[in-house]
Amino acid sequence: MLNRLSRHCFCTATPRPWLFVGLGNPGDKYKGTRHNVGFELIDAFAESEGISMNAVHCKAIFGQGFVDEVPVFIAKPQTYMNLSGESTGPLAAYYKLPLNRVLVFHDDLNLPCGVLRLHHKGGHGSHNGYWEASWTNGSQSILAPKVQCNSPRTN
């Protein structure tokens, strides 16, 4: 009886971590362009949660911290958009994260300005950066929040 009670009432399981990846292109040339909305989301999230993005890990600018008691790893791959899987896959593997604990943020021209849409097991929608991140990891199980923040006519 005590064994059954301790399993249900005294659980000390630690929260499972998340990996948030913002897709974009490195360099000043791409700042403020629609492709860098993933980078901008990661920067805003890091700032709001007090997480420093001061490390380089697996070809990404990287930070880690907690949201409440849940560990989070956040990354901005520096491989350019279409090679983002070279960073995303190794990060998930390094931290032994199942792909359902990975969120990849990227732009989507089909959304109205300022809209965020969460896709689970969705297609890449002709977005080569997301396609690279998902297929390099051998699955389309990565969650993909899509955002549109600029006019569809901007790069």
Report the C-alpha gap between 6 and 17 in whole angstroms: 24
Catalytic residue (choose from 8, 35, 120, 124): 35
Cα–Cα distance between 77 and 137 in angstroms, integer? 15
Residue 40, token pair as written in the block:
């901008």
Q: Say how far apart CA 18 and CA 91 lie, in whole Å.
A: 11
Task: Give every strand in the sheet of 18-22, ordered side by side.
Answer: 55-57, 60-67, 70-77, 18-22, 102-107, 144-148, 115-119
75: nearest Cα among 124, 41, 107, 99: 41
Strand pairing report for 115-119 and 144-148: antiparallel
Do 37 and 115 contact (CB within 8 A), yes or no? no
Q: Is 120 one of the annotated active-site residues of the chain? A: no
- Catalytic residue numbers? 35
